[in-house]
Amino acid sequence: MDASITKQLIELNRKFYDQFGESFSATRQRLQPGVKQVLDSIQADESVLDLGCGNGFFLRALHDRGHQAALLGADFSLPLLREAESTPGVKFKALDLMQLSAVSDQLSVAGGWDVITMFATMHHIPSREVRLDILLTVKKLLKPNGKFILSNWQFLNSEKLKARVQPWGRVGLSDSDMDEGDYLLDWRSGGEGLRYAHQFSEGELFGLAEQAQMKVEASFLSDGENGKLGLYQIWQA
């Protein structure tokens, strides 16, 4: 993907979450079944870094369970972080994941993180090159044999969500500008907005894990009425 297109898509999503952060957060006040499954797998003494933490709901759930190790969330959306920061005992940072490799020292801990999570975030990151740069940085932030847990939206598994796909012409782009799996979707809560999302295949994620020098330990579908709206994977550094 051309760098100028990547930049335009990043800015599109940045504007979306600045404008609709509060209404988006209102739809994210409970843990998805797949996230609950992940939550149950994390030990109380494991340090956790949540990239793209949004309103901090996942880290809040860990804290409320009596988590004993360090918890840190990072996100670029100030409206979402303002809500997240109401959680006691959890630290949050305003940080642009697109620049993760340049600012990773702000997130590093001695010995590395036990677990890094990235729920419903990677699908908003355009360009395979940018994704790989982020994933290589994730590996550096993890301790040896640490876990990276991610989920990605499988919106094409829902007829209702497929109907939300919009033509790229609405933002001055065309299909030829995009990579396979790239879509423009509308938002209708608290106003109308547009955002970029990528539909990952399982094989595509396996390929990224290999390039990032990590191993996929588990892969499963969860969430939504059909149990297929989220593709979860657990990678080992």
The residue with greater pLDDT, 29 or 187, is 187
Are the CB atoms for 209 and 202 separated by under 8 Å?
A: no
pLDDT category of residue 92 using cuts at 50, 70 and 90: very high
The arrangement of secondary structure in 12-155+197-236, i.e. its CATH architecture, is 3-Layer(aba) Sandwich (3.40)
Cα–Cα distance for residue pair 189/193, rounded to 1 Å? 9
Question: Exposure pattern of 44-78 as b/e (b: 16+ CB <10 Å)?
Answer: eebbbbbbbbbbbbbbbbbeeeebebebbbbbbbe
Structure confidence by residue, pLDDT tens digits, 38-75: 999 999 999 999 999 988 989 999 999 999 999 999 99
